[in-house]
Amino acid sequence: MVLSNAKGSIPLYMQIKELLVARVTEGEWAPGDIIPSEMQLSRELNVSQGTVRKAITELVENNVLVRRQGRGTFVATHDVDRALFHFFHICNDSGTKTLPESKTLSCRKKRASRQEASKLNLSNGAQVVYIERTRNLDNTPTIIETIILPNSLFVDLGKRQVRNLPNTLYELYETQFGITIHRAEEQLRAVAATENDASLLSLEAGTPLLKIERIAYTLDGTPVELRISRCSTSRHYYQNTVL
Amino acid sequence: MVLSNAKGSIPLYMQIKELLVARVTEGEWAPGDIIPSEMQLSRELNVSQGTVRKAITELVENNVLVRRQGRGTFVATHDVDRALFHFFHICNDSGTKTLPESKTLSCRKKRASRQEASKLNLSNGAQVVYIERTRNLDNTPTIIETIILPNSLFVDLGKRQVRNLPNTLYELYETQFGITIHRAEEQLRAVAATENDASLLSLEAGTPLLKIERIAYTLDGTPVELRISRCSTSRHYYQNTVL
DNA sequence: TAGTGGTCTAGACCACGAG
DNA sequence: TCGTGGTCTAGACCACTAA
Protein backbone atom coordinates (compact mmCIF):
# COMPACT_ATOMS: atom_id res chain seq x y z
CA MET A 1 0.00 0.00 0.00
CA VAL A 2 1.42 3.32 -1.06
CA LEU A 3 -0.11 6.56 0.15
CA SER A 4 -0.61 9.32 -2.37
CA ASN A 5 -1.03 12.97 -1.64
CA ALA A 6 -1.34 14.14 -5.23
CA LYS A 7 -3.81 16.83 -6.19
CA GLY A 8 -6.96 14.95 -7.00
CA SER A 9 -6.29 11.99 -4.72
CA ILE A 10 -8.24 10.73 -1.73
CA PRO A 11 -7.24 12.47 1.51
CA LEU A 12 -4.32 10.87 3.32
CA TYR A 13 -6.26 10.19 6.51
CA MET A 14 -8.85 8.21 4.52
CA GLN A 15 -6.17 6.14 2.88
CA ILE A 16 -4.74 5.50 6.32
CA LYS A 17 -8.16 4.43 7.57
CA GLU A 18 -8.38 1.91 4.74
CA LEU A 19 -4.94 0.65 5.55
CA LEU A 20 -5.68 0.24 9.24
CA VAL A 21 -9.00 -1.46 8.50
CA ALA A 22 -7.18 -3.83 6.15
CA ARG A 23 -4.73 -4.78 8.87
CA VAL A 24 -7.64 -5.59 11.15
CA THR A 25 -9.76 -7.51 8.65
CA GLU A 26 -6.79 -9.48 7.39
CA GLY A 27 -5.98 -10.53 10.93
CA GLU A 28 -2.63 -8.80 11.17
CA TRP A 29 -4.07 -7.13 14.25
CA ALA A 30 -6.58 -9.22 16.17
CA PRO A 31 -9.31 -7.97 18.52
CA GLY A 32 -7.74 -6.92 21.80
CA ASP A 33 -4.30 -6.35 20.25
CA ILE A 34 -2.54 -3.08 20.79
CA ILE A 35 -1.68 -1.32 17.56
CA PRO A 36 1.46 0.79 17.02
CA SER A 37 1.44 4.22 18.63
CA GLU A 38 0.42 7.26 16.65
CA MET A 39 4.06 8.37 16.44
CA GLN A 40 5.22 4.98 15.20
CA LEU A 41 2.53 4.91 12.53
CA SER A 42 3.25 8.47 11.46
CA ARG A 43 6.93 7.63 11.01
CA GLU A 44 6.14 4.41 9.18
CA LEU A 45 3.71 6.13 6.80
CA ASN A 46 5.60 9.41 6.45
CA VAL A 47 2.74 11.58 7.56
CA SER A 48 2.29 13.78 10.57
CA GLN A 49 0.92 12.46 13.83
CA GLY A 50 -2.19 14.61 13.38
CA THR A 51 -3.09 12.81 10.19
CA VAL A 52 -2.77 9.39 11.79
CA ARG A 53 -4.78 10.75 14.71
CA LYS A 54 -7.63 11.80 12.46
CA ALA A 55 -7.77 8.36 10.87
CA ILE A 56 -7.75 6.64 14.24
CA THR A 57 -10.39 9.01 15.62
CA GLU A 58 -12.82 8.01 12.92
CA LEU A 59 -12.14 4.32 13.44
CA VAL A 60 -12.81 4.78 17.14
CA GLU A 61 -16.14 6.37 16.23
CA ASN A 62 -16.84 3.32 14.05
CA ASN A 63 -16.16 1.00 16.99
CA VAL A 64 -13.20 -0.53 15.18
CA LEU A 65 -10.53 0.74 17.58
CA VAL A 66 -10.49 1.78 21.22
CA ARG A 67 -8.18 4.38 22.72
CA ARG A 68 -6.92 4.15 26.27
CA GLN A 69 -5.06 7.21 27.45
CA GLY A 70 -1.60 6.45 28.72
CA ARG A 71 -1.71 2.90 27.35
CA GLY A 72 -2.29 2.92 23.62
CA THR A 73 -4.84 2.12 20.93
CA PHE A 74 -6.42 -1.32 20.70
CA VAL A 75 -8.56 -3.29 18.28
CA ALA A 76 -12.11 -3.33 19.69
CA THR A 77 -13.43 -6.54 21.21
CA HIS A 78 -16.91 -7.90 21.82
CA ASP A 79 -17.14 -7.65 25.57
CA VAL A 80 -20.32 -7.80 27.62
CA ASP A 81 -20.73 -4.03 27.52
CA ARG A 82 -20.73 -3.95 23.76
CA ALA A 83 -23.24 -6.79 23.63
CA LEU A 84 -25.51 -4.97 26.05
CA PHE A 85 -25.24 -1.41 24.78
CA HIS A 86 -24.98 -1.99 21.06
CA PHE A 87 -26.35 -5.39 20.16
CA PHE A 88 -29.09 -6.11 22.67
CA HIS A 89 -32.21 -3.99 22.76
CA ILE A 90 -34.72 -5.67 25.06
CA CYS A 91 -35.55 -3.87 28.32
CA ASN A 92 -37.98 -4.79 31.00
CA ASP A 93 -40.83 -2.42 31.77
CA SER A 94 -38.84 -0.58 34.40
CA GLY A 95 -36.25 0.26 31.76
CA THR A 96 -33.37 -1.93 32.92
CA LYS A 97 -31.44 -3.99 30.45
CA THR A 98 -29.72 -7.24 31.41
CA LEU A 99 -28.28 -9.99 29.29
CA PRO A 100 -30.69 -12.94 29.26
CA GLU A 101 -29.69 -16.45 30.22
CA SER A 102 -29.83 -18.74 27.25
CA LYS A 103 -30.85 -22.37 26.97
CA THR A 104 -29.83 -24.08 23.75
CA LEU A 105 -32.53 -26.39 22.43
CA SER A 106 -30.70 -27.70 19.39
CA CYS A 107 -27.61 -27.10 17.33
CA ARG A 108 -27.23 -29.02 14.11
CA LYS A 109 -26.17 -28.82 10.50
CA LYS A 110 -28.69 -28.51 7.69
CA ARG A 111 -28.99 -27.12 4.19
CA ALA A 112 -29.94 -23.47 3.92
CA SER A 113 -33.37 -22.68 2.56
CA ARG A 114 -33.57 -20.43 -0.47
CA GLN A 115 -34.32 -17.41 1.70
CA GLU A 116 -31.64 -18.17 4.25
CA ALA A 117 -29.05 -18.67 1.56
CA SER A 118 -29.93 -15.41 -0.12
CA LYS A 119 -29.81 -13.46 3.12
CA LEU A 120 -26.40 -14.87 4.00
CA ASN A 121 -25.12 -14.55 0.46
CA LEU A 122 -24.60 -18.31 0.16
CA SER A 123 -25.08 -20.57 -2.82
CA ASN A 124 -28.35 -22.49 -2.89
CA GLY A 125 -28.39 -25.44 -0.54
CA ALA A 126 -25.16 -24.51 1.22
CA GLN A 127 -24.57 -26.05 4.62
CA VAL A 128 -25.47 -23.94 7.63
CA VAL A 129 -25.31 -24.36 11.38
CA TYR A 130 -28.79 -24.11 12.79
CA ILE A 131 -29.19 -23.19 16.46
CA GLU A 132 -32.40 -22.89 18.40
CA ARG A 133 -32.53 -21.55 21.91
CA THR A 134 -34.74 -19.80 24.42
CA ARG A 135 -33.66 -16.86 26.50
CA ASN A 136 -34.80 -15.96 29.99
CA LEU A 137 -35.26 -12.44 31.24
CA ASP A 138 -36.10 -11.91 34.89
CA ASN A 139 -36.29 -15.69 35.20
CA THR A 140 -39.09 -16.09 32.68
CA PRO A 141 -38.65 -17.41 29.14
CA THR A 142 -39.13 -14.34 26.95
CA ILE A 143 -37.30 -14.87 23.67
CA ILE A 144 -37.11 -17.74 21.21
CA GLU A 145 -34.12 -17.47 18.92
CA THR A 146 -33.14 -19.19 15.72
CA ILE A 147 -29.57 -18.59 14.61
CA ILE A 148 -28.26 -19.55 11.20
CA LEU A 149 -24.55 -19.50 10.40
CA PRO A 150 -22.63 -20.45 7.26
CA ASN A 151 -21.04 -23.80 8.06
CA SER A 152 -18.01 -22.85 5.99
CA LEU A 153 -17.10 -20.09 8.45
CA PHE A 154 -18.11 -21.88 11.63
CA VAL A 155 -16.76 -25.36 11.01
CA ASP A 156 -17.54 -27.88 13.71
CA LEU A 157 -19.41 -25.35 15.83
CA GLY A 158 -22.08 -27.99 16.21
CA LYS A 159 -19.70 -30.76 17.22
CA ARG A 160 -17.76 -28.77 19.74
CA GLN A 161 -20.41 -27.22 21.91
CA VAL A 162 -23.79 -28.69 21.26
CA ARG A 163 -25.69 -27.52 24.27
CA ASN A 164 -23.02 -25.61 26.04
CA LEU A 165 -23.00 -22.33 24.14
CA PRO A 166 -22.20 -19.13 26.04
CA ASN A 167 -24.90 -16.53 25.86
CA THR A 168 -22.73 -13.85 24.34
CA LEU A 169 -22.28 -15.55 21.01
CA TYR A 170 -20.40 -12.70 19.36
CA GLU A 171 -17.58 -13.16 21.82
CA LEU A 172 -17.48 -16.82 20.81
CA TYR A 173 -17.43 -15.97 17.11
CA GLU A 174 -14.53 -13.62 17.73
CA THR A 175 -12.37 -15.78 19.97
CA GLN A 176 -13.10 -19.21 18.48
CA PHE A 177 -13.62 -18.44 14.81
CA GLY A 178 -11.86 -15.13 14.26
CA ILE A 179 -15.07 -13.54 13.08
CA THR A 180 -15.88 -10.08 14.39
CA ILE A 181 -19.40 -8.76 14.07
CA HIS A 182 -19.27 -5.10 13.21
CA ARG A 183 -22.76 -4.07 12.16
CA ALA A 184 -26.23 -5.56 11.95
CA GLU A 185 -29.47 -4.78 10.20
CA GLU A 186 -32.69 -5.59 11.99
CA GLN A 187 -36.21 -5.92 10.64
CA LEU A 188 -38.97 -5.86 13.23
CA ARG A 189 -42.48 -7.15 12.77
CA ALA A 190 -45.42 -8.13 14.95
CA VAL A 191 -46.49 -11.77 14.50
CA ALA A 192 -48.82 -14.21 16.22
CA ALA A 193 -47.30 -16.89 18.43
CA THR A 194 -47.44 -20.36 16.93
CA GLU A 195 -48.41 -23.36 19.07
CA ASN A 196 -44.73 -24.11 19.48
CA ASP A 197 -43.84 -20.52 20.45
CA ALA A 198 -46.74 -20.55 22.88
CA SER A 199 -45.63 -23.67 24.68
CA LEU A 200 -42.00 -22.53 24.90
CA LEU A 201 -42.99 -19.15 26.32
CA SER A 202 -45.96 -20.45 28.33
CA LEU A 203 -48.53 -18.21 26.76
CA GLU A 204 -51.46 -18.68 24.40
CA ALA A 205 -51.13 -19.35 20.70
CA GLY A 206 -51.96 -16.22 18.75
CA THR A 207 -50.45 -13.88 21.31
CA PRO A 208 -48.68 -11.03 19.49
CA LEU A 209 -44.90 -11.44 19.54
CA LEU A 210 -42.19 -9.07 18.40
CA LYS A 211 -40.22 -10.77 15.64
CA ILE A 212 -36.71 -9.47 15.04
CA GLU A 213 -34.83 -10.64 12.00
CA ARG A 214 -31.21 -9.65 12.19
CA ILE A 215 -28.46 -10.02 9.64
CA ALA A 216 -25.02 -9.39 11.13
CA TYR A 217 -22.03 -8.32 9.06
CA THR A 218 -18.27 -8.28 9.51
CA LEU A 219 -16.24 -5.14 8.99
CA ASP A 220 -15.75 -5.92 5.31
CA GLY A 221 -19.51 -6.25 4.79
CA THR A 222 -19.84 -10.04 4.61
CA PRO A 223 -23.09 -11.30 6.15
CA VAL A 224 -22.18 -13.99 8.67
CA GLU A 225 -25.20 -14.51 10.87
CA LEU A 226 -28.94 -14.62 10.41
CA ARG A 227 -30.83 -14.48 13.68
CA ILE A 228 -34.57 -14.57 14.11
CA SER A 229 -35.92 -13.73 17.55
CA ARG A 230 -39.51 -13.89 18.73
CA CYS A 231 -40.06 -11.92 21.92
CA SER A 232 -42.93 -11.71 24.30
CA THR A 233 -43.47 -8.02 24.95
CA SER A 234 -45.93 -8.35 27.80
CA ARG A 235 -43.32 -7.28 30.31
CA HIS A 236 -40.49 -6.15 28.04
CA TYR A 237 -39.93 -3.89 25.08
CA TYR A 238 -37.41 -3.23 22.33
CA GLN A 239 -35.56 0.00 23.03
CA ASN A 240 -34.17 2.22 20.30
CA THR A 241 -32.63 5.67 20.43
CA VAL A 242 -33.18 7.90 17.42
CA LEU A 243 -30.59 10.57 16.73
CA MET B 1 -19.49 32.97 29.28
CA VAL B 2 -15.78 33.01 29.92
CA LEU B 3 -13.54 30.23 28.67
CA SER B 4 -10.95 28.83 31.03
CA ASN B 5 -7.84 26.94 30.10
CA ALA B 6 -6.54 26.42 33.64
CA LYS B 7 -4.98 23.14 34.65
CA GLY B 8 -7.87 21.06 35.91
CA SER B 9 -10.54 22.70 33.77
CA ILE B 10 -12.75 21.24 31.09
CA PRO B 11 -11.08 21.24 27.65
CA LEU B 12 -11.58 24.43 25.66
CA TYR B 13 -13.30 22.72 22.75
CA MET B 14 -15.92 21.28 25.10
CA GLN B 15 -16.60 24.66 26.62
CA ILE B 16 -16.98 26.00 23.10
CA LYS B 17 -19.42 23.21 22.29
CA GLU B 18 -21.54 24.20 25.29
CA LEU B 19 -21.41 27.81 24.21
CA LEU B 20 -22.45 27.04 20.65
CA VAL B 21 -25.24 24.75 21.84
CA ALA B 22 -26.46 27.50 24.14
CA ARG B 23 -26.64 29.95 21.27
CA VAL B 24 -28.75 27.45 19.36
CA THR B 25 -31.08 26.44 22.18
CA GLU B 26 -31.59 30.03 23.26
CA GLY B 27 -32.59 30.94 19.75
CA GLU B 28 -29.73 33.33 19.04
CA TRP B 29 -29.08 31.14 16.02
CA ALA B 30 -32.18 29.53 14.52
CA PRO B 31 -32.34 26.40 12.37
CA GLY B 32 -31.09 27.20 8.89
CA ASP B 33 -29.08 30.21 10.04
CA ILE B 34 -25.43 30.48 9.12
CA ILE B 35 -23.14 30.78 12.12
CA PRO B 36 -19.93 32.84 12.19
CA SER B 37 -16.98 31.34 10.36
CA GLU B 38 -14.37 29.33 12.22
CA MET B 39 -11.94 32.22 11.97
CA GLN B 40 -14.45 34.72 13.32
CA LEU B 41 -15.28 32.47 16.25
CA SER B 42 -11.64 31.76 17.02
CA ARG B 43 -10.91 35.50 17.13
CA GLU B 44 -13.99 36.18 19.27
CA LEU B 45 -13.12 33.43 21.74
CA ASN B 46 -9.34 33.89 21.68
CA VAL B 47 -8.60 30.32 20.69
CA SER B 48 -7.07 28.81 17.61
CA GLN B 49 -9.14 27.88 14.60
CA GLY B 50 -8.36 24.21 15.22
CA THR B 51 -10.03 24.31 18.61
CA VAL B 52 -13.20 25.86 17.23
CA ARG B 53 -13.04 23.31 14.43
CA LYS B 54 -12.97 20.43 16.88
CA ALA B 55 -16.01 21.78 18.72
CA ILE B 56 -17.92 22.27 15.47
CA THR B 57 -16.92 18.82 14.21
CA GLU B 58 -18.52 17.16 17.21
CA LEU B 59 -21.68 19.24 16.86
CA VAL B 60 -21.89 18.20 13.23
CA GLU B 61 -21.67 14.57 14.35
CA ASN B 62 -24.52 15.29 16.79
CA ASN B 63 -26.66 16.66 13.97
CA VAL B 64 -26.72 20.09 15.57
CA LEU B 65 -24.75 21.85 12.84
CA VAL B 66 -24.16 21.25 9.15
CA ARG B 67 -21.03 22.23 7.25
CA ARG B 68 -21.09 23.24 3.61
CA GLN B 69 -17.69 23.62 2.07
CA GLY B 70 -17.13 27.03 0.55
CA ARG B 71 -20.30 28.43 2.13
CA GLY B 72 -20.14 28.13 5.89
CA THR B 73 -21.59 26.28 8.86
CA PHE B 74 -25.34 26.25 9.47
CA VAL B 75 -27.73 25.22 12.21
CA ALA B 76 -29.31 21.90 11.18
CA THR B 77 -32.92 21.88 10.04
CA HIS B 78 -35.59 19.20 9.88
CA ASP B 79 -35.86 18.63 6.17
CA VAL B 80 -37.46 15.64 4.49
CA ASP B 81 -34.17 13.78 4.36
CA ARG B 82 -33.69 13.99 8.08
CA ALA B 83 -37.25 12.83 8.67
CA LEU B 84 -36.74 9.87 6.37
CA PHE B 85 -33.24 8.79 7.35
CA HIS B 86 -33.29 9.50 11.05
CA PHE B 87 -36.83 9.67 12.34
CA PHE B 88 -38.83 7.28 10.19
CA HIS B 89 -38.11 3.58 10.27
CA ILE B 90 -40.87 1.81 8.37
CA CYS B 91 -39.90 0.10 5.11
CA ASN B 92 -41.99 -1.96 2.78
CA ASP B 93 -41.00 -5.55 2.14
CA SER B 94 -38.81 -4.64 -0.82
CA GLY B 95 -36.76 -2.41 1.46
CA THR B 96 -37.76 0.99 0.17
CA LYS B 97 -38.63 3.76 2.56
CA THR B 98 -41.02 6.55 1.67
CA LEU B 99 -42.77 9.12 3.81
CA PRO B 100 -46.38 8.10 4.29
CA GLU B 101 -49.31 10.33 3.47
CA SER B 102 -51.16 11.32 6.60
CA LYS B 103 -54.84 11.85 7.24
CA THR B 104 -55.66 13.68 10.44
CA LEU B 105 -58.70 12.23 12.20
CA SER B 106 -58.86 14.63 15.10
CA CYS B 107 -56.88 17.37 16.76
CA ARG B 108 -58.14 18.70 20.07
CA LYS B 109 -57.18 19.85 23.52
CA LYS B 110 -57.58 17.61 26.53
CA ARG B 111 -56.07 17.04 29.95
CA ALA B 112 -53.07 14.71 30.07
CA SER B 113 -53.55 11.36 31.74
CA ARG B 114 -51.27 10.50 34.62
CA GLN B 115 -49.02 8.45 32.32
CA GLU B 116 -48.94 11.01 29.56
CA ALA B 117 -48.09 13.79 31.99
CA SER B 118 -45.28 11.80 33.54
CA LYS B 119 -43.79 10.88 30.17
CA LEU B 120 -43.84 14.50 29.03
CA ASN B 121 -42.68 15.79 32.39
CA LEU B 122 -45.87 17.81 32.88
CA SER B 123 -47.83 18.48 36.05
CA ASN B 124 -50.85 16.27 36.59
CA GLY B 125 -53.82 17.24 34.47
CA ALA B 126 -51.88 19.70 32.30
CA GLN B 127 -53.42 20.62 28.98
CA VAL B 128 -52.14 18.74 25.95
CA VAL B 129 -52.87 18.81 22.24
CA TYR B 130 -54.12 15.40 21.19
CA ILE B 131 -53.84 14.43 17.54
CA GLU B 132 -55.05 11.23 15.93
CA ARG B 133 -54.21 10.33 12.37
CA THR B 134 -53.75 7.44 10.00
CA ARG B 135 -50.85 7.13 7.60
CA ASN B 136 -50.84 5.48 4.22
CA LEU B 137 -47.92 3.56 2.79
CA ASP B 138 -48.14 2.34 -0.79
CA ASN B 139 -51.71 3.65 -0.81
CA THR B 140 -52.91 1.42 2.00
CA PRO B 141 -53.58 2.59 5.55
CA THR B 142 -50.74 1.08 7.58
CA ILE B 143 -50.16 3.20 10.66
CA ILE B 144 -52.45 4.69 13.28
CA GLU B 145 -50.80 7.47 15.21
CA THR B 146 -51.66 9.28 18.41
CA ILE B 147 -49.59 12.38 19.09
CA ILE B 148 -49.61 14.18 22.42
CA LEU B 149 -48.01 17.61 22.80
CA PRO B 150 -47.81 19.96 25.77
CA ASN B 151 -50.32 22.70 25.06
CA SER B 152 -48.06 25.25 26.71
CA LEU B 153 -45.44 24.79 24.00
CA PHE B 154 -47.80 24.38 21.06
CA VAL B 155 -50.39 27.05 21.77
CA ASP B 156 -53.27 27.14 19.35
CA LEU B 157 -51.92 24.27 17.28
CA GLY B 158 -55.44 22.87 17.35
CA LYS B 159 -57.13 26.07 16.27
CA ARG B 160 -54.78 26.87 13.45
CA GLN B 161 -54.63 23.66 11.51
CA VAL B 162 -57.25 21.22 12.59
CA ARG B 163 -57.22 18.82 9.72
CA ASN B 164 -54.60 20.40 7.57
CA LEU B 165 -51.41 19.22 9.21
CA PRO B 166 -48.38 18.54 7.02
CA ASN B 167 -47.04 15.04 7.31
CA THR B 168 -43.58 16.07 8.39
CA LEU B 169 -44.62 17.38 11.78
CA TYR B 170 -41.10 18.08 13.01
CA GLU B 171 -40.67 20.67 10.31
CA LEU B 172 -43.88 22.29 11.54
CA TYR B 173 -42.70 22.26 15.16
CA GLU B 174 -39.49 23.92 14.08
CA THR B 175 -40.85 26.59 11.79
CA GLN B 176 -44.11 27.41 13.56
CA PHE B 177 -43.24 26.87 17.21
CA GLY B 178 -39.46 27.22 17.35
CA ILE B 179 -39.13 23.71 18.75
CA THR B 180 -36.42 21.50 17.29
CA ILE B 181 -36.57 17.79 17.89
CA HIS B 182 -33.07 16.51 18.46
CA ARG B 183 -33.40 12.97 19.80
CA ALA B 184 -36.09 10.41 20.48
CA GLU B 185 -36.45 7.25 22.53
CA GLU B 186 -38.65 4.52 21.12
CA GLN B 187 -40.19 1.52 22.85
CA LEU B 188 -41.49 -1.21 20.57
CA ARG B 189 -43.99 -3.86 21.49
CA ALA B 190 -46.27 -6.30 19.70
CA VAL B 191 -49.94 -5.80 20.51
CA ALA B 192 -53.28 -7.07 19.22
CA ALA B 193 -55.36 -4.76 17.05
CA THR B 194 -58.44 -3.40 18.80
CA GLU B 195 -61.78 -3.24 16.99
CA ASN B 196 -61.07 0.40 16.25
CA ASP B 197 -57.55 -0.30 14.94
CA ALA B 198 -58.96 -3.10 12.83
CA SER B 199 -61.57 -0.97 11.14
CA LEU B 200 -59.12 1.87 10.48
CA LEU B 201 -56.57 -0.47 8.92
CA SER B 202 -59.13 -2.81 7.34
CA LEU B 203 -57.91 -5.94 9.01
CA GLU B 204 -59.25 -8.27 11.70
CA ALA B 205 -59.35 -7.43 15.38
CA GLY B 206 -56.62 -9.31 17.20
CA THR B 207 -54.14 -9.04 14.33
CA PRO B 208 -50.65 -8.43 15.75
CA LEU B 209 -49.57 -4.82 15.33
CA LEU B 210 -46.23 -3.22 16.01
CA LYS B 211 -46.72 -0.55 18.65
CA ILE B 212 -44.09 2.17 18.78
CA GLU B 213 -44.11 4.57 21.68
CA ARG B 214 -41.81 7.48 21.06
CA ILE B 215 -40.80 10.32 23.32
CA ALA B 216 -39.04 13.10 21.43
CA TYR B 217 -36.67 15.55 23.08
CA THR B 218 -35.22 18.93 22.24
CA LEU B 219 -31.48 19.57 22.34
CA ASP B 220 -31.63 20.57 25.99
CA GLY B 221 -33.34 17.32 26.93
CA THR B 222 -36.92 18.53 27.40
CA PRO B 223 -39.50 15.95 26.29
CA VAL B 224 -41.86 17.70 23.90
CA GLU B 225 -43.76 15.00 22.05
CA LEU B 226 -45.27 11.65 22.92
CA ARG B 227 -46.21 9.64 19.87
CA ILE B 228 -47.81 6.24 19.84
CA SER B 229 -47.94 4.42 16.51
CA ARG B 230 -49.62 1.12 15.74
CA CYS B 231 -48.37 -0.38 12.48
CA SER B 232 -49.54 -3.24 10.42
CA THR B 233 -46.44 -5.27 9.58
CA SER B 234 -48.00 -7.58 7.02
CA ARG B 235 -46.27 -5.79 4.18
CA HIS B 236 -43.89 -3.49 6.07
CA TYR B 237 -41.29 -3.68 8.78
CA TYR B 238 -39.41 -1.46 11.20
CA GLN B 239 -35.81 -1.10 10.08
CA ASN B 240 -32.95 -0.53 12.50
CA THR B 241 -29.20 -0.51 11.98
CA VAL B 242 -27.06 -1.70 14.86
CA LEU B 243 -23.54 -0.35 15.11
C1' DT C 1 -11.39 37.03 -6.49
C1' DA C 2 -12.41 36.69 -1.71
C1' DG C 3 -13.98 33.86 1.88
C1' DT C 4 -15.38 29.46 3.56
C1' DG C 5 -14.53 24.86 5.16
C1' DG C 6 -11.07 20.63 4.33
C1' DT C 7 -6.53 18.69 4.75
C1' DC C 8 -1.95 18.50 6.50
C1' DT C 9 2.05 19.76 9.09
C1' DA C 10 5.17 20.61 13.22
C1' DG C 11 5.62 21.28 17.64
C1' DA C 12 4.21 22.41 22.48
C1' DC C 13 2.41 20.91 26.83
C1' DC C 14 -0.97 18.07 29.77
C1' DA C 15 -3.04 13.70 31.81
C1' DC C 16 -2.70 9.12 32.47
C1' DG C 17 -0.72 4.33 33.14
C1' DA C 18 2.93 1.22 33.90
C1' DG C 19 7.31 -0.03 35.46
C1' DT D 1 10.37 8.43 34.68
C1' DC D 2 8.93 7.27 30.13
C1' DG D 3 5.69 6.55 26.54
C1' DT D 4 0.98 6.85 25.44
C1' DG D 5 -3.03 9.39 23.96
C1' DG D 6 -5.45 14.30 24.71
C1' DT D 7 -5.46 19.19 23.94
C1' DC D 8 -4.03 23.34 21.76
C1' DT D 9 -1.55 26.33 18.71
C1' DA D 10 0.04 28.56 14.23
C1' DG D 11 0.38 28.42 9.77
C1' DA D 12 0.37 26.39 5.00
C1' DC D 13 -2.18 25.05 0.98
C1' DC D 14 -6.39 22.91 -1.39
C1' DA D 15 -11.41 22.69 -2.89
C1' DC D 16 -15.49 24.76 -3.23
C1' DT D 17 -19.05 28.66 -3.55
C1' DA D 18 -20.71 32.98 -4.49
C1' DA D 19 -20.32 37.50 -6.11
Q: How confident is the model at residue B164 (pLDDT cuts 50, 70, 90)?
A: low
Contacts of B87 in chain A (CB under 8 A): 242
Q: How confident is the model at residue A166 (pLDDT cuts 50, 70, 90)?
A: confident
Give residue B1's pLDDT.
Answer: 63
Chain D nucleotides reached by a protein CB under 7 Å: 3-11, 14-18
> pTM, whole model, 2 decimals?
0.95
Give A213 CA → D1 C1' in Å. Answer: 54
Q: Rounded mean pLDDT of B10-32?
A: 97
Which amino acid is present at A157? L
Contacts of B61 in chain A (CB under 8 A): 61
Residue B226 has pLDDT above 80, yes or no: yes
- Report the percentage of chain B scoring pLDDT > 90: 88
Q: Rounded mean pLDDT of B36-50?
A: 97
How many Å lie between the alpha carbon of A222 and the closest alpha carbon of chain B? Answer: 15
- Report the percentage of chain B scoring pLDDT > 70: 97
pLDDT tens digits for range B76-121: 999 999 999 999 999 999 999 999 999 999 999 999 999 999 999 9
Give residue A7's pLDDT.
Answer: 78
